[in-house]
Amino acid sequence: MKPNKVLVAVTSFDYTDNADKLKTFFSSAYDTIIIHSNNLNECPKTVDYIIPNNYYTGLWNKSIQKTIEGDYEWLLFVASDVSILNQEIQSLSELINSITQDNNIGVYTFSVDPKSRRTYNELFNQQTKTIRDTSKIEGFCFLCRTSILRKMYPIDYSANQYGWGLDWGMIEIAKRNKLRTVVDDRVIVYHPRSLYPINEKIALKQMMAFLKNLKKQEIQMNRIIIINNLIKTHKYDSYLEIGTRFKKDCFDQIQCNHKLCVDPGKNDIYNFNITSDEFFDINQQKFDIIFIDGLHTAEQSYKDIVNSIKILNDNGSIVVHDTNPPTEFHATEKQYTPKENIIAGYNWNGTVWKSIFKLRKERKDLIFETYECDWGVTIIRKGNGSLLELDNDFFSFEIFDKNRKEILNTK
């Protein structure tokens, strides 16, 4: 009998013959459908649904719609150009069955043959013969819990047609629900370069808008609530903000008797329209609470934190934004690096995490605590802390990613 937990959706675009092959392969173990959506190519022979050409997002939406309608607990999404290299369906379904019984896993993906088109390094097969945690998946082949997909479905394909960023969305929601994303080195897939032309500039723009919206859904906690709670709890009287951009976004919402903001930009009117370094050079005042959200490089945020500690009243708090980047994409040294095609833009957390890491190795007179919301909000207070034992001499993101709870001391 087929396990009715999983629906396999083979999504056909370029490779119609292979779609039929994949359907035959999966059908012996799972309910399997083919959804086709490319007007330019002829349909696979065993197609189940033909939808208008709404690119990846159209296929993704239709697969989830069928998963929800059929009351399946999981969707295995497989693009029609994927070849599974080393598995018989019998053993593959045994692996998948064990995954679907693991309550800690939210998203699962196969490892990628190094001869495939370029993918994220961590997805290439590493011959571990087991599953390992990953911060990336590829949209061409994944198994995901319906409970995660429901939280994103349906994606507005008029706004995000190419569907870039949906993979990050799944991982992010899995994370928020304390579920793991894993890659399986026991299964290897080959994925060729797509034949279909894609406008990468538009796809990137659409992805930014999508990720920004996903960020807005984080309503549980955010920097503003955290800062206002600290002010109320400790009866703080003076607030300094380093990096403000639009005052309405945060500064204006902070409830404190005396407030000052510093920003060298031109987006608003600030008390000090200069850089934080220039401000610390001339400043004579002390503050109860200082919010650091200026330039997100490791070097500058480190300086901002150290300078802020010097002008913080004894019972005061420093609040640092963007300390918990979800992926390496969000954690580049520069905000815009178009040459390498990494343009984090508004989703840029930078390398602020490195300054927290460095301080945790240096300062046992400080106590650190991080909220895992709003890209990471770390509170630093004076007190008897302990030095971090973990080493990461070359500031590898991978090591940070595996140990972020310990490094940031997340709540």
- We find the least distance from the C-beta atom of residue 204 to ligand SAM, in angstroms, to be 20
Residues forming a β-bridge with 355: none
Would you tell me which residues interact with ligand SAM (CB under 6 A)? 223, 242-245, 249-250, 262-265, 267, 275-276, 293-295, 300
Which is nearer to ligand SAM, 143 or 242 (by Cβ)?
A: 242
- We find the least distance from the C-beta atom of residue 275 to ligand SAM, in angstroms, to be 4
| Polymer length of the chain | 411
The answer to whether the CB of 288 falls within 8 A of the CB of 316 is yes
* Kind and range of the H or E run holding 15: none
- We find the least distance from the C-beta atom of residue 274 to ligand SAM, in angstroms, to be 8
- We find the least distance from the C-beta atom of residue 74 to ligand SAM, in angstroms, to be 38
Tell me how far CA of residue 176 lies from CA of 61, 139, 214, 230, 375, in angstroms: 22, 20, 12, 24, 12
**Which parts of 47-195 fold into alpha helices (H)?**
55-69, 89-100, 146-150, 166-176
Residue 365 is which amino acid? D
Which is nearer to ligand SAM, 84 or 344 (by Cβ)?
A: 344
- We find the least distance from the C-beta atom of residue 357 to ligand SAM, in angstroms, to be 20
Which is nearer to ligand SAM, 275 or 327 (by Cβ)?
A: 275
Which is nearer to ligand SAM, 61 or 300 (by Cβ)?
A: 300
Residue 247 DSSP symbol = G
Which is nearer to ligand SAM, 63 or 276 (by Cβ)?
A: 276
- We find the least distance from the C-beta atom of residue 262 to ligand SAM, in angstroms, to be 5
Which is nearer to ligand SAM, 293 or 328 (by Cβ)?
A: 293
Which is nearer to ligand SAM, 189 or 242 (by Cβ)?
A: 242
Which is nearer to ligand SAM, 7 or 242 (by Cβ)?
A: 242
- We find the least distance from the C-beta atom of residue 368 to ligand SAM, in angstroms, to be 20
Tell me how far CA of residue 11 lies from CA of 43, 182, 229, in angstroms: 11, 22, 48
Q: Is 138 helix (H, G, I), strand (E, B) or coil?
A: coil
Q: Residue holding tokens 């697969």?
A: 63
Which is nearer to ligand SAM, 80 or 238 (by Cβ)?
A: 238
In 299-399, beta strands by DSSP E: 312-321, 336-337, 342-343, 366-371, 377-382
Q: Are strands 74-79 and 49-50 parallel, antiparallel or unpaired?
A: unpaired
- Phi and psi at residue 168, to the nearest 5°: -65, -35
* Buried-state track 99-132, b at ≥16 Cβ within 10 A, e below 16: bbeeeebbbbbbbbbeebeebbebbbbeeeeebe
- We find the least distance from the C-beta atom of residue 278 to ligand SAM, in angstroms, to be 8
- We find the least distance from the C-beta atom of residue 253 to ligand SAM, in angstroms, to be 9
Q: Residue holding tokens 């971090």?
A: 388
Tell me how far CA of residue 15 lies from CA of 10, 27, 189, in angstroms: 11, 18, 15
